[in-house]
Amino acid sequence: MDLNLRLLLAMLVLASLLIYTTPTHHVNSEISNRQKYIVRVRPPPNFSPDMSSSNLETWYRSFLPPSSMGASRPHTPFIYTYREAILGFAVNLTKVEVEYVTKRDGVLNVYEDYLIPLLTTHTPEFLGLRSNGGAWNSIGMGEGTIIGLLDTGIDMSHPSFHDDGMKPPPAKWRGSCDFGDAKCNKKLIGGRSFSRGHVPPVDNVGHGTHTASTAAGQFVEGASVLGNGNGTAAGMAPHAHLAMYRVCSVWGCWNSDVVAGLDAAISDGVDILSISLGGRSRRFHQELLAIGTFSAMRKGIFVSCSAGNSGPSSGTLSNEAPWVLTVGASTMDRQMKAIVKLGDGRSFVGESAYQPSNLVSLPLAYKLDSGNVKGKVVACDLDGSGSSGIRIGKTVKQAGGAGMIVFGKQVSGHNTFAEPHVLPASYVNPIDAAMIREYAKNSSNKPTASIVYEGTSLGTTPAPVVAFFSSRGPSTASPGVLKPDIIGPGVNVIAAWPFKVGPPTSANFVKFNSISGTSMSAPHLSGIAAVIKSVHPDWSPAAIKSAIMTTAYAVDGNKKPILDEKFNPAGHFSIGAGHVNPSRAINPGLIYDTDEEQYILYLCGLGYTDSEVEIVTHQKDACRKGRKITEAELNYPSIAVNAKLGKLVVNRTVTNVGEASSTYTVDIDMPKGVTASISPNKLEFTKAKEVKTFVVSLSWDANKIKHAEGSFTWVFGKQVVRSPIVIF
């Protein structure tokens, strides 16, 4: 979710929950207290994908309590019926009716519905994607692929979604365009709404428009936020098609709506799913998003999900399933500089996307409640309430303040945010904020401050840096699979927006906005996956994920380890395999592929019961006769292992997707105290798609080694296939 919206959403969600759960004292209170549930069932006898909707609905109806239970039920009680993401339905039930349904043969689980939070002009160049060179020039721009987004809707009139130069959608497309009288085009080929009220999938929040244009927006010249960050905007896959499934509103995203959107996207024929939403960690059979994305993976659909905005604390991830790409957020090498100059001569570099004329030296006040702030520069703390600098700025402006200095939260380290403020402002990091705060509180010096705007700077260092808010591993649901998988741009991302931003009197620029969150990083990877898919249409989701992970880089532009928000080296629980490198991901050389059967055995190895595995995978009696593999045995492009074990011996299998005749040698990089070997240490291929298996052996003193990180890399010429290792 855009961090600027967090407080408003939290308040609205709390209000909605209070309204939703307040008990009524009506005579028929049990009936009037119906709530929404999602019922997951086994398939009916003789089920086939071609079974008619009416027959499937008749089957679903057989699980409901008879009308004699006291309520006159409508002829069609279902809110949604599902057949692709899950087999089941959403329905309003009382507690008594839930007990009845739960006990019915064929019912696998009943879930109470809940809200899930919603979690550019320069990023293509930063990632090596350019129309006059780089990956775009050599392999195309995602042509022929369809990206489906589960989000808040889309502003279909925005120039990012025009269809100049686009080809018609692929023949497999089965979706619909439900924008009322407005028509879809060859870029935006579909749109449906599943959020409450069933209004057209028009974006009245901004989030969906921003993520859609980040993934696959068309080229828009002269894009900027209030004249800053100026350039030609484009998504990662400018020639890919888009389909929007509105499953969220300003309130958040109801789980039942999300599953309905997943169900539709799978049925419609999307190639890529971009999901910038996610809640707290749950076991996979309890997480409908994990279940629905498993169904998408089975159909060959690649899924990119936000890692979450709960960093920098460890173990805070969302969307942890190994069959999805879990994406963290990083900064890029661009700053919209707003220099704060104090009366004592000191200067501090902050950021702002609104850059009017320089603000001359004025009295400096610390906090709004410090007395009369009219005509002053007001220094304000960002507390834990979720208030954004923009919202605080509106309050400062209403109080007569002439300008504002936003103090970043202590946890944010060196991260700064370029927001479209409503008055002259600068966001400074908490290190600088501490010095400004001390100066501002010393009233005997009559403190003053000015703000000097220096426009947009490119090539700033260090970059990339992990965003402080980006959720960290280890995974709670599956610690033995390294998550997040990857990081990508998620700070101050400029992309399409449906509304005007900044002061009411600002110039009427084409509508773009600069916002931050892992919501912004996930669609970058969705678009990159679409580019890869357009070149390699036969690759599985796991193959695309492997290509992205093994070609990622773990060093910044200065060839030094990627840093976290405090400028310390970032570990793999922050960056996963590293920062995405699209130009190399197109041709990874080797891939680690994983099929549905492996995921099933992996779930068995996690200790899930047959019934729990069936809930996720649709496979009955999957763990029969003790069939299972450990997390480490999953053919994943990374390795994570508990330090208490003291050793690990696992196989990995790679497929040659590079030169037919090639010989890869291994390079192992592990810290002192960890013994590592790869056998064989050379892989010789004589043909394309040839498969080779090797053994990874690790050992360490469990009494001495509590955490260690390293990697092993297969090298052939310019092909570098790297896999991170974490002992934790």
DSSP at 65: P
Q: What is the reported pLDDT for 15?
A: 29
Helix and strand element counts for the chain (H, E) = 17, 35
Q: What is the reported pLDDT for 506?
A: 74
pLDDT in tens, 114-124: 999 988 445 66
Flag whether pLDDT at 6 surpasses 50. no
Check: CB of residue 710 under 8 Å from CB of residue 638.
no
Residues in the chain: 728
**Domains delineated in the chain:** 34-112 (3.30.70.80), 142-332+466-585 (3.40.50.200), 335-454 (3.50.30.30), 589-594+635-727 (2.60.40.2310)
SS3 at position 487: strand
Report the range of poorest mean pLDDT among 79-88, 367-376, 704-713: 367-376
- Is this model's pTM higher than 0.85 or not? yes
Check: CB of residue 241 under 8 Å from CB of residue 186.
yes
Q: Which of 232-236, 335-339, 555-559, 622-626 holds the top average pLDDT?
A: 335-339
How does residue 667 score in pLDDT terms, banded at 50, 70 and 90? very high
Which of these, 635, 651, 648, lies nearest to 674 by C-alpha position?
648
How does residue 22 score in pLDDT terms, banded at 50, 70 and 90? very low
How does residue 16 score in pLDDT terms, banded at 50, 70 and 90? very low
Q: What is the reported pLDDT for 505?
A: 78
The token pair that represents 717 in the structure block? 């010429």
Q: What is the reported pLDDT for 137?
A: 62
Flag whether pLDDT at 388 surpasses 90. no
Q: What is the reported pLDDT for 125?
A: 64
Report the range of poorest mean pLDDT among 141-150, 506-515, 597-606: 506-515
Determine which one of 274, 519, 546, 723 is catalytic: 519
Flag whether pLDDT at 70 surpasses 60. no
Task: Concatenate the DSSP letters of all residues of 75-142 into one string.
Answer: SS-EEEEESSS-SEEEEEE-HHHHHHHHTSTTEEEEEE--EE-B---SHHHHTTEETTEHHHHHH-SS
For tokens 């700053």, name the residue: 335
How does residue 67 score in pLDDT terms, banded at 50, 70 and 90? low
Task: Concatenate the DSSP letters of all residues of 551-566 into one string.
Answer: T-BSB-TTSSBPB-TT
Report the range of poorest mean pLDDT among 20-24, 136-140, 475-479: 20-24
**How confident is the prediction for the chain on average, in pLDDT?**
91
Task: Concatenate the DSSP letters of all residues of 375-412 into one string.
Answer: TSEEEEE--TT---HHHHHHHHHHTT-SEEEEEPPGGG
Q: Is 151 a catalytic residue?
A: yes
pLDDT in tens, 550-600: 999 999 988 999 999 999 999 999 999 999 999 999 999 999 999 999 999
Q: What is the reported pLDDT for 371?
A: 77
For tokens 């050793």, name the residue: 647
Flag whether pLDDT at 649 surpasses 50. yes
3-state helix, strand, coil in the chain (%, to 5): 25, 30, 45
Which of these, 134, 145, 158, 130, lies nearest to 495 by C-alpha position?
158
Crossing angle (nearest 10°) for helices 288-298 and 596-605: 150
Tell me the mean pLDDT in the region 329-337.
96
Flag whether pLDDT at 28 surpasses 80. no
SS3 at position 550: helix
Q: Is 538 a catalytic residue?
A: no
Number of neighbours of residue 221 by Cβ within 10 angstroms: 12
Flag whether pLDDT at 672 surpasses 70. yes
The token pair that represents 146 in the structure block? 């369809």
pLDDT in tens, 393-417: 999 999 999 999 999 999 999 999 9
Q: What is the reported pLDDT for 205?
A: 94
The token pair that represents 266 in the structure block? 């799978």
DSSP at 168: P
Residue 179 CA to residue 161 CA, distance in Å, equals: 14
Q: What is the reported pLDDT for 19?
A: 24
Determine which one of 158, 162, 207, 524 is catalytic: 207
| pLDDT over 70 percentage in the chain | 90
How does residue 384 score in pLDDT terms, banded at 50, 70 and 90? low
How does residue 443 score in pLDDT terms, banded at 50, 70 and 90? low
Q: Is 207 a catalytic residue?
A: yes
Identify the residue with better confidence: 672 or 31. Answer: 672
Which of these, 228, 628, 657, 278, lies nearest to 476 by C-alpha position?
278
The token pair that represents 117 in the structure block? 């939070």
Q: What is the reported pLDDT for 149?
A: 98
The token pair that represents 327 in the structure block? 């994406």
Q: What is the reported pLDDT for 507?
A: 72
The CA–CA distances, whole Å, from 215 to 85, 123, 124, 147 equal: 23, 11, 11, 8
Determine which one of 151, 155, 268, 271 is catalytic: 151
Residue 132 CA to residue 719 CA, distance in Å, equals: 24
DSSP at 569: B
Which of these, 427, 631, 615, lies nearest to 516 by C-alpha position?
427
Q: What is the reported pLDDT for 578?
A: 98
pLDDT in tens, 201-223: 999 999 999 999 999 999 999 89
